[in-house]
Amino acid sequence: MTPPITIISGDDESLIAEAVRAAVEAALGTEDRSLALEELTEEEYRTEDGFEIARLVDAAQTPPFLTGRRVVVGRHLGRFTNREAVAPLVAYLESPLETTSLVVIWEKGRAPTQQKLNPIPKDLVTAVAAAGGEVQKV
């Protein structure tokens, strides 16, 4: 069974790309990629006041349409550095949608460029484990 969430963390773009490809393929199975896959980047999280994780949570809560499963890929989540910023995702993981697999890439943001990759907040790591998910460091 595919975990409800996989967090892939690291600085090496080629290792991240390979891990994301493998996680997405495993989560999609035989589903039509064009219907079942949604990818979000930091642009979708941008607000007038900075960045918010709500768009990722909204995508995770959206049931599949014309497919049995949905895979949501969220990139550049290294932008969210504290427990308040990831609180909506932690709350979602208390009861994740069974038909959705989240593949979250904990990598540096690009615009503006982050100089260092911040650690994953402990609340999020705990919630991922409690939901049956996994954290992969590459």
Kindly report, residue by residue over 33-85, the tens digit of the pLDDT. Answer: 999 999 999 999 999 988 999 999 999 999 999 999 999 999 999 999 899 99
In this structure, is residue 123 part of a structural domain?
A: yes
Tens digit of each residue's pLDDT (9 = 90 or more) over 96-127: 999 999 999 999 888 888 888 889 999 999 99
pLDDT at position 86 is 97
In this structure, is residue 5 part of a structural domain?
A: no
In 10 A of CB 110, how many CB atoms?
Answer: 13
In this structure, is residue 3 part of a structural domain?
A: no
In this structure, is residue 18 part of a structural domain?
A: yes
In this structure, is residue 2 part of a structural domain?
A: no
According to DSSP H, which parts of 31-121 are helical? 33-36, 42-45, 54-61, 83-92
Please tell me the distance from the alpha carbon of residue 52 to that of residue 45, in angstroms, as a whole number: 5
Here the CATH number for the domain that contains residue 66 is 3.40.50.300
In 10 A of CB 49, how many CB atoms?
Answer: 6
In this structure, is residue 31 part of a structural domain?
A: yes
pTM tops 0.85 = yes
Please tell me the distance from the alpha carbon of residue 106 to that of residue 88, in angstroms, as a whole number: 16
In this structure, is residue 4 part of a structural domain?
A: no
Contact predicate 64/33, CB 8 Å? no
> Does position 1 have pLDDT exceeding 80, yes or no?
no
Give me the number of domains the chain comprises: 1
